[in-house]
């Protein structure tokens, strides 16, 4: 083997070692420090009807916290553009659910959207279902 080949082998070996080292660092970052944090808001599909019965509506909504720390939330329920109330709470990682029921005001025009808005740290999540009319 010539001196030039030995030098090239040395450069390739060092490049492979550097690439492995960088790959390990990137992998460790994604495994230990790069965990995605988020919250999830949902309405249980079997908890509501799209039609009003006895002038009232009820449903169940839930929040899942995957933030990795204690998190402060505000949830607000809307009928169309009208706010029906707020709920402020804190959660560690996990899940909570709330039962909601309210009366439909006279003169409500259908279809109308029932919406839940969840806010945390200037981020907002929302989910909804439609009321199509009265039975």
Higher pLDDT: 68 or 2? It is 68
Query: What element of type H or E holds 113?
Result: strand 112-120
From CA 33, how far away is CA 98, in angstroms rounded? 33
Sheet of 94-103, strand order = 38-43, 56-66, 94-103
Rama region for 75: left / alpha / beta (φ>0; ψ in -120 to 50; rest): beta
Buried b / exposed e across 30-54, counting CB within 10 Å, b at 16+? Answer: eeeeeeeeebebbbeeeebeeebee
pLDDT at 28: 72
The domain spans of the chain are 1-35, 38-134
Q: pLDDT for 1-57, tens place per residue?
A: 677 888 888 888 888 788 888 888 887 776 666 677 899 999 999 999 999 999 999
Residue 37 confidence (pLDDT): 87
CATH topology of domain 38-134: Immunoglobulin-like (2.60.40)
pTM, 2 dp: 0.74
C-alpha count within 13 angstroms, C-beta hemisphere, residue 108: 24
User: 81-129, pLDDT tens digit by residue?
Assistant: 999 999 999 999 999 999 999 999 999 999 999 999 999 999 999 999 9
């Amino acid at each position: 083997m010539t001196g030039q080949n030995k030098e090239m082998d040395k450069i390739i070996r060092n490049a492979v070692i550097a690439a492995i080292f960088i790959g390990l660092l990137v992998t460790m970052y994604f495994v230990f420090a790069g965990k995605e944090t988020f919250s999830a808001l949902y309405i249980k599909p079997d908890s509501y009807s799209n039609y009003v019965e006895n002038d009232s509506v009820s449903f169940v909504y839930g929040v899942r916290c995957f933030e990795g720390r204690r998190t402060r939330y505000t949830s607000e329920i809307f009928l169309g553009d009208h706010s029906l109330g707020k709920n402020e709470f804190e959660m560690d990682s996990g899940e909570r659910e709330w039962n909601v029921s309210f009366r439909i005001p006279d003169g409500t025009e259908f279809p109308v959207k029932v919406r839940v808005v969840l806010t945390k740290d200037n981020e907002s999540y929302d989910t909804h279902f439609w009321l199509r009319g009265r039975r």
